[in-house]
Amino acid sequence: MSDREKATASAFMTHEVGLHARPSVKLTKLAKTFPAGIQLALSEEGPWIDAKSIVRVMAFQAPQNTMLYFRAVGDRAEEALAALVKLVEDDFEVEVGGESA
Amino acid sequence: MTQLRFNGVVGSRGLLAGPLAVLRDTAAQARDAGTPEQEAAVLKAAIESSVESLSLLIAESEGAAAEILAFQVAMLEDGELSAEAFAAIAGGTAADAAWRAALAAQIEVFASADDDYFRARSTDLTDLRDRVLRALCGSEEGDVGLPPGAVALADDLTPSRFLAQEWAGRGIALRAGSASSHVAMLARAYSVPMVLNLRDVPEAEGTLALLDAEEGAVTLDPAAGEQAAFAARCSALEASKIRQAAFLTAPAATAGGAPVGIFLNVTLPEDLEGLDPAICDGIGLVRTEFLFHGHEGLPDEQTQVNAYEKILRWAQGRPVIVRTLDAGGDKPIPGLTREEENPFLGLRGLRLCLARPEVFKVQLRALLRAAPAGTLRIMLPMVALPEELEEARALLIEAATEVGFVGDLPPLGIMVEIPAAALTLDRFAIDFASIGSNDLVQFTLAAARGGNGLERLQRADYPAVLRLIAESVERAARRGIEIGLCGDAGGDPALIPALLATGLRRFSMAPSAVGAAKEAIARSADHG
């Protein structure tokens, strides 16, 4: 509860069909477990979208072999991005626990 | 009406003859709209009850079905999906019209996608649209009670429509649809025969239809002869399924009780989806060149690591033989292979890899990094000389240093597909070998593969080929090296007896060939 914690990160996504239904469900569920505001983009210049919205994430239609950029503001921002980067780098194989709405 | 045949695409394999039953859109009926506040509350309640009914469905589903429904729930719970609808309601639009318009925009995003996978997601959104509309209008989607044996006809089917229906003994003909749609995955998971892309099939309710989801076609009003031939195919397929099911998970053995190893040939990790590892003793061939297709440039190291790890994990400790890049010949790769006068006898397989060590090393590093996920074996294709094997080994050792690999290197083996290798197998310092019968046949009989009028020169059971195989098996046995066969011949029940007679006891084949191959082995005499 210090000042607004800020973080940025990126991860290379190799999942065969890209950021499709199952990976998108996992990514948004994981993002929602953190209090920080988290955004996702396909380029450092944006456009940035809410990484907690599966509708927005799916609309990106990110194909395989894309760099995903994250930025976060708020409590545990660093931790949130570390977790998201790990999810992408582990090819969305890890189980994402229950969500906190 | 006379017999009409329509060609389409197989969504889920099988055969079925039955009356055509048109599945109609069950979505919306008219309803009376209230004030904006009431309409907003009604839409909110409809979305909540849809989430609830989907959650109930998830609880009774598993695997692919549960994942598809979880995706739908996540979409529905996302305020972004309904934001536009609530804005329109505040402006005086009725809840159903507002919801329909909001979803139309979302459906369009996916329907116009370049990628077939994302395009197929528009059906999921149609499904969500209709589910909420039904909740708004108080109508429930139920089983419309298709007659037994019915061939259901629709433009496309949503996953919930599929799941609401009893499909046992029935089949599906779709005018549109995609083999990568969720409903096609469900049809495969539930073994419901399905043919897609049958554009012009008329809504001829009750007409006899032959659903050929082996070839991808539908025939309406078939002539008597056509019906009889189809019935014969149905019963042959049924009988072989029943016979083979009994063999599928049992270990393979000859009539004399000699155990035979059964391995799978796979191209992509997806080939293993829904397969029980218990049907095989491992993976006898992973064709990695397909990783090198269809993407921008060559796949990077991490992409390869992920794919290899997935296959290794699936095998649950059973051996997995990964063949290093076998490009060239009939498998050109832009930017890697070169144009050649006679590509089958040119720079291909290991020759190409040795000529392009920077590409080969990426694959070797990826293999070594994936190795801890299971029992990996590395196999080199198109090897003629022991020197080629040693050059590859040197690169493997270099790659091991680069990735900091500790412990014993994975076993290294070769494909036996060039007669020179078959005749001198004892000169190769290898841990295992696998006969590539397709190339071995074409090099031994000097006849290219494929419909070129040379069919009689394309059999793996010709004495010249069988002698080369027997020679290799004997040389391998003398050195105590495991040897198998991973060409098309290994899964061909007609060739299995002759192959067993050479002394071969390990066959690798397409997953769909396992049942029939085990049956053929069980009927074969033991040739000692």
pTM of the model: 0.56
On whether both B288 and B190 belong to a single domain, the answer is no
Query: Is it the case that residue A97 has pLDDT exceeding 70?
Result: no
Q: Which fold has domain A19-89?
A: Histidine-containing Protein; Chain: A; (3.30.1340)
**pLDDT class for A4, splitting at 50, 70, 90?**
confident
Query: Is it the case that residue B140 has pLDDT exceeding 70?
Result: no
> Which pLDDT belongs to residue B231?
94
A43 touches chain B (CB under 8 A): no
B480 class by beta-carbon count within 10 Å (0-12 exposed, 13-18 middle, 19+ buried): exposed
In a domain, B236, yes or no: no
Query: Is it the case that residue B444 has pLDDT exceeding 90?
Result: yes
Pairing state between β B15-22 and B208-212: antiparallel
**For residue B84, which residues of chain A lie inside 8 Å, CB to CB?**
none
**For residue B182, which residues of chain A lie inside 8 Å, CB to CB?**
21
A39 class by beta-carbon count within 10 Å (0-12 exposed, 13-18 middle, 19+ buried): buried
On whether both B17 and B41 belong to a single domain, the answer is no
In a domain, B528, yes or no: no
**B226 near B473, Cβ under 8 Å?**
no
What range defines the domain where residue B427 resides?
A: 243-523
Return the closest-CA partner of residue B372 out of B408, B414, B412, B324.
B408
Query: Is it the case that residue B203 has pLDDT exceeding 70?
Result: yes
On whether both B221 and B357 belong to a single domain, the answer is no
On whether both B289 and B309 belong to a single domain, the answer is yes
> Which pLDDT belongs to residue B450?
59
In a domain, B44, yes or no: yes
On whether both B487 and B361 belong to a single domain, the answer is yes
- Of the candidates A24, A61, A91, which has its C-beta nearest B113's C-beta? A61
Query: Is it the case that residue B527 has pLDDT exceeding 90?
Result: no
- Interface size between A and B, measured as CB pairs under 8 A: 70
Quick one: closest CA in B to A15, which residue? B303
Q: Identify which has the larger pLDDT, B166 or B210.
A: B210
Which of the listed residues B204, B229, B254 is the one where a domain comes to its end? B229
**pLDDT class for B528, splitting at 50, 70, 90?**
very low
Instruction: Average the pLDDT over each of B6-10, B37-41, B294-298, B430-434 and give the range with the smallest value.
Output: B294-298
**pLDDT class for B170, splitting at 50, 70, 90?**
very high
Give the whole-angstrom CA distance, residue B6 versus residue B151: 14
Instruction: Average the pLDDT over each of A13-27, B205-219, B274-288 and give the range with the smallest value.
Output: A13-27
Q: How much is the average pLDDT of B415-441?
A: 95
On whether both B127 and B171 belong to a single domain, the answer is no
**B15 near B240, Cβ under 8 Å?**
no
Give the whole-angstrom CA distance, residue B156 versus residue B195: 11
Burial letters for B341-367: b for 16+ Cβ neighbours within 10 Å, e otherwise? eebeebbbbbbbbbebbebbbbbbbbb
Quick one: closest CA in B to A91, which residue? B306
Q: How far is B160 from chain A (nearest CA, A)?
A: 16
Q: Quote the Cα angle for B371-B377-B383, to 5°.
A: 130
Q: How far is B204 from chain A (nearest CA, A)?
A: 36
> Which pLDDT belongs to residue B295?
45
DSSP B220: E
In a domain, B91, yes or no: yes
Q: Identify which has the larger pLDDT, A56 or B388.
A: B388
Give the whole-angstrom CA distance, residue B417 versus residue B415: 6
On whether both B123 and B146 belong to a single domain, the answer is no
The one-letter amino acid code at B153 reads: L
Which of the listed residues B229, B260, B295 is the one where a domain comes to its end? B229
B203 touches chain A (CB under 8 A): no
Q: How far is CA A70 from the centre of its chain?
A: 6
The DSSP-derived string for B127-193 is: HHHHHHHHHHHT-------PPTT-EEEES---HHHHHHS--TT-EEEESS--TTSHHHHHHHHTT--
> Which pLDDT belongs to residue B422?
96
Q: Are B74 and A54 within 8 A, CB to CB?
A: yes
Q: Are B121 and A58 within 8 A, CB to CB?
A: yes
Q: Identify which has the larger pLDDT, B19 or B454.
A: B19
Which of the listed residues B185, B206, B229 is the one where a domain comes to its end? B229
In a domain, B31, yes or no: no
| φ, ψ for residue A58, nearest 5 deg | -65, -35
Give the whole-angstrom CA distance, residue B409 versus residue B431: 11
What would the two tokens of residue B102 be? 């909001």
In a domain, B170, yes or no: yes
**B364 near B304, Cβ under 8 Å?**
no
Instruction: Average the pLDDT over each of B126-140, B221-235, B350-364, B397-411 and give the range with the smallest value.
Output: B126-140
What would the two tokens of residue B132 be? 């909420």
Q: Which positions of B are catalytic?
A: 182, 486
Query: Is it the case that residue B82 has pLDDT exceeding 60?
Result: yes
On whether both B427 and B482 belong to a single domain, the answer is yes
Domain count of chain B? 3
Q: How much is the average pLDDT of B379-403?
A: 97
Q: How much is the average pLDDT of B2-26?
A: 87
Q: Are A14 and B302 within 8 A, CB to CB?
A: yes
In a domain, B238, yes or no: no
B37 class by beta-carbon count within 10 Å (0-12 exposed, 13-18 middle, 19+ buried): exposed
On whether both B331 and B193 belong to a single domain, the answer is no
Helix/strand/coil (H/E/C) assignment for every residue in B23-89:
CCCCCCCCCCCCCHHHHHHHHHHHHHHHHHHHHHHHHCCCHHHHHHHHHHHHHHHCHHHHHHHHHHH
**For residue B121, which residues of chain A lie inside 8 Å, CB to CB?**
20-21, 58
pLDDT digits (tens, 9 = 90+) for A36-92: 899 999 888 888 889 999 988 888 888 778 888 999 888 888 888 999 998 888 888
On whether both B91 and B116 belong to a single domain, the answer is yes
> Which pLDDT belongs to residue A96?
63
In a domain, B235, yes or no: no
Q: How far is B92 from chain A (nearest CA, A)?
A: 25
> Which pLDDT belongs to residue B425?
96
On whether both B382 and B441 belong to a single domain, the answer is yes
Q: Are A24 and B71 within 8 A, CB to CB?
A: yes
